[in-house]
Chain A
């Protein structure tokens, strides 16, 4: 007898109500019950990060969560990044910096980086190592982005393009925030 639960989940702003077996992973639920196949499964044990999605704004390995645990949550997947067909700044940076080859790990890296870039990041924090770029740009350092990117596995690129793309997007967004007069927390 299957243990079925009725849940509600919002994915990329769209409400879904569905019956899901208790043991079904969030990744399988997203991919096969709701059709968000942009989320990929690379290891199903939480190491590779290809299945990274945002659950209530925080990155989560969708292979390590059950679908029922997302009841009442807002989930964001790679399909929710673009504005219609217009690539987001991060997606465009991935293409510009050749940050993908086979593309299988790409959704996980995009969601991981999007969570980082959307955080209330201090622009030039001291203790966190922010502002170590040393080039006057004030953004995060290459080393900091490299550490972030080290959360996930890519077998094709050697990571350099991914690091460059995330770094470029961070600087772009910081510049945009400065331009619009928003002061990120902790800056100064």
Chain B
């Protein structure tokens, strides 16, 4: 697309709702259908629900990072007025969840619903108490008497890998859950030996909490009429919760109905199945009364799922012009104590290993990537899943190579980017990158930064006594992985496809069901836009029903930036079929050919004949109520069911950040932020901008604030929001967004997924900006978050001739030059 078109698409330009000039709803800033109920306080979240006779669960949890569990005495709890029951693992029959990767390099481990004779992280549930009200349940947990024998916790990667280290699970040699070596192993030594420049380093990212504002919650009740357990769960993946409950409790899937009502954010935390949810299901079946559980924030921060704790030891060989020749990486992901159901703990190491080269043409690549178990909370695929780290690594390598070669870092990037004319590009990692605007987005970002006067602003900040720097990150993001791609990971439960049903009712209104499960992404609006275009109706006439396993065909929920492409694609296909049915009916009634019928503005019209039209609601009325007047092949119903299962499609973006650093306190503040992004066809610019801004804020926070700490005994240091610093409005600046549109050839609508890009690109841009601010010192940072105290210490050291700085004894430039060690 042209530069002028790009400018016209810029955020805030087309805010008025209405049809696009093309006459389509796709692309219009349609106000969200979800907003009204939320603004009126009429959202329906799991914790809002009440049932007659409802009981409340609370969990007795481990205070130790690792311990043997002796006797568990529930008698005092059971004696408390208002307590209805209390249960241990043994009393429930020792149920567990098991997530499996069908590969030799993977060691399967069970996650018991309640810990048995051993606990593996502080916060692990050992017993559950059921009481008439939640206050009593919590009181009763306090008097559950558990006999503990503490064990030395394995609190980090170093402890896990130490010779003779205790094994977090008996079956885990070296505490390794998965150990993968992939790609090019033979040519690498020769390439590195001959390379003019080798750069590298150790790059680390801290453990993070996804921190949805609504924690996990569930309400389970047995329905004797349908012989079914009905569960309301705050989840991103209702069908997988159903499968997990069915597998863990040994019951048929049809005996469980999972409904995700309004869900207060997920960010990956809720795309795995929580053991507490399954415990509550088991109790509700057992005692035949509704049981509710609402996680508190301490449980959310310590006992749910974390993510993002990774270490990369990476080397890259470059030629004299800054072209990358080879790349080697040794990646360790600290995945905590258990492998989460259903996608396993291999999600992070597999994503990191397969996608590290990113947007760059890397001719030779070798990687070892492992999931390492520790005595910490288990991990889930947090927003971005390893790509914040791999982008950070590649973008730091580009900067280091530029520094070693005395080149402009953006020039080095341009020499390595997959460029126009090279798509589709198949990388050394076996991944095929579909058409994107990698080069264009970088060029446009640099141009905008220059035109907007960032360099002068950086100088002004410096003149005012601050340190200031500008950083970039260029990246792509594979979205909408269908089974053709997901199957390469060899998960026992392989996700990817989704299915939608579109049904027009006799009044001409449309119901769409889907297995995706929006929780803030505006799917009720964007899916309606896609369907409305294909049926010629208004989006207000289209209602999305999602998050209910009895309503929708088996689907895979909402994660991995999959929903608008896969769920929306399935809905679009089904709508197309219903459109065909409408055209046939209209053709019969208007005595025309179906091919000449167009559906728009609520009517079916014969193309080129203004007088020949019939309203779509009239067509629906005839189909259902005057069925006998129609030919047999168009008689019965207006509905269709379609699936979609694409290989995946790459969004891309270039981020730029200007940060200012207080040299006294070390405080780092984002000052300006720009995103040039390309997610293909934009379905709704309001929603896209919202995803970008929210994502960037999370990514900036990952670079500057957020960190779940554990001490050497496995005690969590981030148990409240006083200790875990989520960003407020004061820690982020306005974010400017420019859209490019390179339509995807692999999606129904031309759209690409875009739920994670903001989070993926921001840490690298911010880190590069920090390093730019330190460019006149020997100090540099290759880890996130960069904390104020670290920066202040680095600056203090930078004033000394031989200051020991930041990330160990590494230098920021070349490790070797001209082949010399």
Contact = CB atoms under 8 A, between A and B. Distances in A.
B636 interface: no
A110 B520 CA distance: 17
A139 to B, nearest CB: 17
Nearest to A37: B48
Interface in B514-536: 519-522
Contacts of A72: none
Contacts of A94: 35, 39
Contacts of A149: 728-729
Majority SS at the chain A contact face: loop
B212 A102 contact: yes
Interface residue range, chain B: 35 or more
A54 B722 CA distance: 24
B734 interface: yes
A38 B40 contact: yes
B725 to A, nearest CB: 10
A157 B211 CA distance: 14
Nearest to A162: B729
Interface string A24-47: 100000011000111111111101
Nearest to A42: B213
A9 interface: no
Nearest to A111: B41
Given A147-B730, A157-B690, A107 B264 contact: no
Given A24-B135, A44-B297, A103-B34, A158 B214 contact: no
A102 B234 CA distance: 12
A103 B686 contact: no
Interface in A140-187: 142, 146-147, 149-163
A77 B263 CA distance: 21
Nearest to A12: B41
Contact of B696 (A41, A78, A81, A158): A158
A39 B41 contact: yes
B264 A104 contact: yes
Contacts of B522: 101
B751 to A, nearest CB: 18
A79 B267 CA distance: 28
Contacts of B728: 149-153, 159
Contacts of A77: 41
A110 B732 CA distance: 20
Contacts of B686: 98
B693 A157 contact: yes
Nearest to B38: A103
Given A87-B36, A150-B730, A155-B726, A161 B693 contact: yes
B730 A79 contact: no
A23 interface: yes
Given A101-B521, A102-B263, A95 B135 contact: no
B286 interface: no
Interface string B668-711: 00000000000000000011011001111110000000000000
Contacts of A153: 213, 721, 726, 728
B212 A155 contact: yes
Nearest to A31: B48
A129 to B, nearest CB: 14
Most buried by A among B38, B297, B520: B38
B31 interface: yes
A36 B40 CA distance: 11
Contacts of B694: 101, 155-158
Contacts of B50: 32
B732 A158 contact: yes
A95 B720 contact: no
A110 B690 CA distance: 18
A156 to B, nearest CB: 5
Nearest to A38: B41
A156 B41 contact: no
A19 interface: no
Contacts of A154: 213
Contacts of A23: 135
Contact of B40 (A78, A147, A163): A78
A85 B686 CA distance: 24
A96 B729 CA distance: 19
Contacts of B263: 102
A85 B214 CA distance: 26
Contacts of A60: none
Contacts of A44: 296-297
B435 interface: no
Given A91-B40, A94-B35, A103-B264, A156 B690 contact: yes
A146 B40 contact: no
Given A103-B520, A104-B213, A163 B729 contact: yes
A157 B695 CA distance: 8
A158 B736 CA distance: 12
Contacts of A142: 734
Given A100-B35, A106-B39, A45 B297 contact: yes
Interface in B1-43: 15, 31-32, 34-43
B721 A102 contact: no
B47 interface: yes
B213 A48 contact: yes
A36 B728 CA distance: 26
A75 interface: no
B38 A48 contact: no
Contacts of A43: 297, 720-721
A47 B686 CA distance: 28
Interface of A: 21, 23-24, 31-32, 36-45, 47-48, 50, 77-79, 81-82, 85, 87, 91, 94-96, 98, 100-107, 110, 142, 146-147, 149-163
Interface of B: 15, 31-32, 34-43, 45, 47-48, 50, 135, 211-214, 262-265, 267, 296-297, 519-522, 686-687, 689-690, 693-698, 720-722, 726, 728-732, 734-735, 758
Given A103-B264, A158-B693, 5 more contacts: A32-B50, A50-B213, A82-B39, A106-B38, A149-B729
11 contacts: A40-B213, A41-B47, A48-B213, A79-B40, A79-B42, A95-B39, A100-B38, A102-B262, A103-B37, A104-B214, A158-B694
The 5 tightest CB contacts between A and B, nearest first, are A38-B41, A104-B264, A103-B38, A102-B520, A158-B693
